[in-house]
Structures are given as structure tokens and as C-alpha cells.
Structure 1
Amino acid sequence: MESFYKYCPISSHDNLEEQYSLINLFENQASFSRRKNFNDLFDSEVEILRPSRDRVRRTYQKLSGESKRTFKRLFMGENANHNFDLLIKSIEDALDSYLFYCVTDNPVNNLMWSHYANSHNGFCIEWNGDAMSPEKVRYQDQLPTLELLELLESTIGLRTKDEIASQAWVSLKIKLKEWEYESEYRINLSNSAQNLVVKDLGKLALVKFQPEWIKSIIFGYRMPEKTRDYIRKNMPKNTTYQEVVISRNGNGLELKKMA
């Protein structure tokens, strides 16, 4: 895909120097979120399924030697429930640690401008699709699930850790169908890119990007001229600008290039 888009808010046009979206834009940093930072209570929530006794027994039968003895002691003895609780907590912590950046493929979505760009007062960043590899979010009626023992098996050699990590990331790209209008994509900050983190703030982290990755800045329909001028003043001189206007048929939005 040639472009992806990030809707950005501006909550006040009177103190532009304090607007975090503009600070990040001018300092070439993007805000990557962890799942606890989302406004949707169910976003990236994953149900971790406890195993049945039969499932535990089947895993036990696959093991041998010390692994088999350790598994029996931890997960088939009197402390099994407590140990499963600890394991679930460690998995939840791992899912909480993922950092990702959310974008969309639609820059003229009226609901997105309303919800994420302060009712058309904000702006939208057009990202060069060649500079990133976002993955599409899947929308479904139910929250995703992960089998606890499948995750455990990756630590004792019955499954690969890469396979389980991939399964976890798939789960973090699932949202309920009511959010389908967003047409969302997500970029996972890989371990190899951790050096790009400028500041880790807990629920989110600021990540450095290259200014040439931005193809254009799109002004919201209601953005005042003084705010547009402020952005132009602080962006590189070769930046391209567009604005959102009401479409010619009056029933939607469209982009208009600016001189």
C-alpha cells in the first residue's frame, strides 16, 4: 500500500506549543502504545484458557526425563492451580509489554476525524507505505483466546518460541466488529528496533522516525489558519500539505492538495 494515515488531535488552538501531537511531529517521534493505554476496554484483551486435566495429561505424556518430572511437580501436584495462576500472570505481563502504532488506510473517514482529531480540529499524517510494514487488524464478534498449555509448551521445547510469539501478536491484532469502521493496521515495535525508543512512559513510548517517511500533513476541515501557519513554520520547508474538504456531492469528505 502506498500510504497509511495517523489521525492526531489538537485539543486547544490557544496553546499550540503544549500540544503533544505537535511536539511529537516536530521532534520526529511517534507515540507507540501498550494495550493498557487504549480507550476501548476490550482492545487487545486476550482470554487465556486454562487446560483441562486431559490436556495436561497429554502434554505430560509428550515429555521425558527431568522435564517430565518437573512438569508433573508443578502442574499436576497440589500447587498446580497456583502455578497456573503465576503462569497466566507472566503471560499477561508479556502481552502488556508489546508496543504498537495504529494507523489506517482511509484519510477521509468522517468518524475518525471526529473521534481522533478533535472533531476535525486536528490533523492527519500521511506515512509512506514503503517505510513501514503495518499489519491489518482483524474484526470479529468475540475476543481472541490463547491456550495456556500451548504457551507453556514453548518453554519446554514442544513448540517454538517464534511460533508462540507469532500467535500472541495475531491475538493483539483482533478487535470487536463495532470498531470495523476504523480499517486499522498495526505496527509492532520489534526487539531489533528498541534502540529507536526515545522515552518509555509506561503505557506508551516515544519512538524516533525519519522525517522523510512523512509524505504529507493533512489539515482538518475546522483547523484555524493560525494553527496551519504554526505547523508550516515548524515543519521542513519541503513538506507537502493537503486539507480535508466536503466532497462535491456534499455527502462525504475528500482531500484537496494545497499550494
Structure 2
Amino acid sequence: MLLYKYRGIQGFRFFTDIILKNRLYAAPYFDLNDPMEGRYLYSQSDGKIDEDMARVLKGEKDKIRVCSLSRDPNNELMWSHYAEGHKGVAIGVEINSPKYTVRPIIYDGLHRIGRNNFNAGSAIDILSHKLDVWEYEAEERIFTPNKQYVDVEIKQIICGSRMSTQDKGFITELVEKINPSIEIINARTNSAYV
């Protein structure tokens, strides 16, 4: 299954790094754009927070890095928010290593945790839940323990519907020289012409 990373191309060095090195950046959870990232609801019958559990969870979350991708290559909001208003790209990748934990985001609000469901995977469980306002992202997350990059196999580059002819030509030429097996296509637009 292809997953997509929406990117602008103004920071061309970052785009080139992805193509040259077949990798995507994985951020610490606190650098992600959702201010509720990594938060959870504590659920215990006595209502008292288990301080040891909270400390362990914080430590575990701090060790994890996250690469956020989308299952949807044609999402108008994603193109607008993450690909410079349709002037960037969506990079279709396959995750080529079993060493990563890949999870779809569950859009049901903050994860509820207590002593009854606390385990070694609780930090990833917490980071796999988001508020429903983010549902449009159709997000899949790749989790990696303290590794700054996730190795990927790039299969496709979708050029945004508002990308300039010069940028499209440059990207096409660059990709053909680095890896001609990568498919380059134009984004579909759902907009009606007036």
C-alpha cells in the first residue's frame, strides 16, 4: 500500500534529501503540529494519578519519533496545508522495513489510559489517537525508536495542480537522473472549471 508525504518544494534541500536517500524525517511527538499530541486521559477508579506510570509514559513518548503520512493522495486540504497550496508534491512511498511500527490514526479523541490497560506499547497507543477534527488527514504513522529518519521506497511523485512548468520540468529531470523508476504524475483536481 502506498502512503503519501505531502511536501512543499521551496525547501528544495529537504525534497532532494528524500529522493537521494530514500528516507523521510521522523519528528519527536512534541514537534508535531497538533497541540494535543501525546496527551491522554487518565482513568482510574480512585481518581489519583499514578505518578510512576505518568513518568514512564513521558519517558517512553520522548524516545519515540513519528513520521506522519496519509493514505489519500488527492486530499484538497492536505495539498493546501502541507504542499504549499498545491504547488508542492505528494510523494508516494512504501515502507520497506519490518523494523517500524505502522499504525493508522484513530480519530476518537484522547486515548484513555489507567493501570488496567497500561503496557509496554502504551506510548504508541497514546500517539495513535487524535481528535476527530484531524480526520481529513487519513493519517498513518510510522513510529521509530530514537531514529531520525524512516527508510522508504519511493514509488511515485505527484506534482501539485498549481506547480509551475519550470518546477515540474526540474523535478522530472532530477528524478529521472536519480531514480527513473519513480513514476511522476500530475495531481487530480476536484475543482470545477468556471
Compute the TM-score of the two structures, normalised by the length of structure 2: 0.80
Shift of 1:185: 1.1
In the other structure, the counterpart of 2:107 is 139
Instruction: Kindly provide the amino acid, as one letter, of the partner of residue 177 in structure 1.
Output: D
For 1:165 and 1:85, how far apart are their aligned partners in 2? 16
Q: Does 1:167 align with 2:111?
A: no
In structure 2, relative to structure 1, the CA distance for the partners of 1:23 and 1:44 (3 Å cut) is: same
Q: Which digits, 9 at most, give the CA deviation of each residue in 1:88-142, with x for residues without a partner?
A: 23421211221222111111110000001110111011123776773211111x3
When structure 1 is superposed on structure 2, of 231-240 and 177-186 the one drifting more is 231-240
For 2:150 and 2:137, how far apart are their aligned partners in 1? 23
For 1:208 and 1:130, how far apart are their aligned partners in 2? 7
Shift of 1:173: 0.6
Shift of 1:144: 1.4
Q: Determine which structure has more spread, i.e. the larger CA radius of gyration.
A: 1
Shift of 1:34: 1.9
The answer to whether the 8 Å contact 1:26/1:234 transfers is no
Instruction: Kindly provide the amino acid, as one letter, of the partner of residue 114 in structure 2.
Output: E
Instruction: Kindly provide the amino acid, as one letter, of the partner of residue 215 in structure 1.
Output: K
Shift of 1:226: 2.1
Q: Does 1:177 align with 2:138?
A: no
Q: Does 1:52 align with 2:46?
A: yes
Q: Does 1:239 align with 2:182?
A: yes
Q: Which secondary structure state, in structure 1, belongs to the residue aligned with residue 155 of structure 2?
A: strand
Count of matched residue positions in the alignment of Structure 1 and Structure 2: 188
For 2:97 and 2:86, how far apart are their aligned partners in 1? 27
In the other structure, the counterpart of 1:34 is 28
Shift of 1:22: 3.0
The answer to whether the 8 Å contact 1:126/1:217 transfers is yes
Q: Does 1:8 align with 2:2?
A: no
Q: Which secondary structure state, in structure 2, belongs to the residue aligned with residue 221 of structure 1?
A: coil
The answer to whether the 8 Å contact 1:31/1:101 transfers is yes
Higher helix residue share = 1
In the other structure, the counterpart of 1:254 is none
| RMSD over aligned Cα atoms | 2.9
Which residues of 2 match residues 1-259 of structure 1 at below 5 A? 2-11=1-10, 16=12, 19-49=13-43, 52=46, 85=51, 87-128=53-94, 134-140=102-108, 142-147=109-114, 151=118, 164-189=119-144, 197=147, 205-209=148-152, 213-235=153-175, 236-247=179-190, 250=192
In structure 2, relative to structure 1, the CA distance for the partners of 1:42 and 1:135 (3 Å cut) is: same
Instruction: Kindly provide the amino acid, as one letter, of the partner of residue 103 in structure 2.
Output: E
The answer to whether the 8 Å contact 2:97/2:151 transfers is no
Q: Which digits, 9 at most, give the CA deviation of each residue in 1:7-48, with x for residues without a partner?
A: 112236xxx3xx423333322221112210111101232234
The answer to whether the 8 Å contact 2:61/2:123 transfers is yes
Instruction: Kindly provide the amino acid, as one letter, of the partner of residue 116 in structure 1.
Output: Y
For 1:51 and 1:93, how far apart are their aligned partners in 2? 24
For 1:131 and 1:27, how far apart are their aligned partners in 2? 15
The answer to whether the 8 Å contact 2:155/2:183 transfers is yes
The answer to whether the 8 Å contact 2:70/2:137 transfers is yes
Percent pairwise identity: 23
Give 5+ residue unaligned stretches, structure 2: none
Q: Which digits, 9 at most, give the CA deviation of each residue in 1:64-83, with x for residues without a partner?
A: xxxxxxxxxxxxxxxxx9xx
Q: Which secondary structure state, in structure 1, belongs to the residue aligned with residue 187 of structure 2?
A: strand
The answer to whether the 8 Å contact 1:44/1:175 transfers is no
Instruction: Kindly provide the amino acid, as one letter, of the partner of residue 136 in structure 2.
Output: Y
